[in-house]
Chain A
């Protein structure tokens, strides 16, 4: 069965900054109604206003290959087949490495709870699983946030830029960044001007760590041989010295060392 991985397309040119997305997010996810001015454990999406009268949503990007998922040592964070990156508190140890790893600074922590959880947007996973749209996309009055499967959204974004190149800066943020994200953005100005992280490579961050971790078996094997050989060499020298006449001529290598 071909499950399409869903995502969001956020068109900054269409956003009027009404904040309906944040409000509905609170409702559908049972979060306290107060909306903070940045992402917190209880506010999973915010709309920030830039001085050039643009409104920019912030939320989890649901990366195709998420750094948080790779970094979580107990797999408390997982990427579901439907697209959302979800969290399971029953295994989480609260190490907060996901927060260090996330290039978008999305996961938040319940700093004042004795039983703290990592909290972040889950792309309305229970709704998406049932084929429904996310709370934010449903509430958006201008269709600045559109829900759909990622492939369709990419086509939609490309078509919009093509149809009106003057309106858009020619880049889909999230198409390739860190190997692609499910939440993508279109903007009238370069993303740098909107304080987006524009220093990201086009491959998943987990590639970096995995390429290092892959070496572990080699390092262990090499190290074991090196240390074992050193032990044999340095201790044999002594034994040989102690009982010189008892030594039988061994292979060439050994005699070299004597």
Chain B
């Protein structure tokens, strides 16, 4: 199990940031991703592996019209 934005989310072997965003359908482009408080750049989404127990934050910067 991992935390995504403070909520439990089932972990799977081989999970990366890119796969997590796909699973959560987080498609919005203005996001900040942090894994265990470490900022992950967009270029690293595919290569950054998420491990069981990690704390992931996906902060969407959308504040409406």
Q: Do A and B bind each other?
A: no
On B, residues with C-beta under 8 Å from A are none
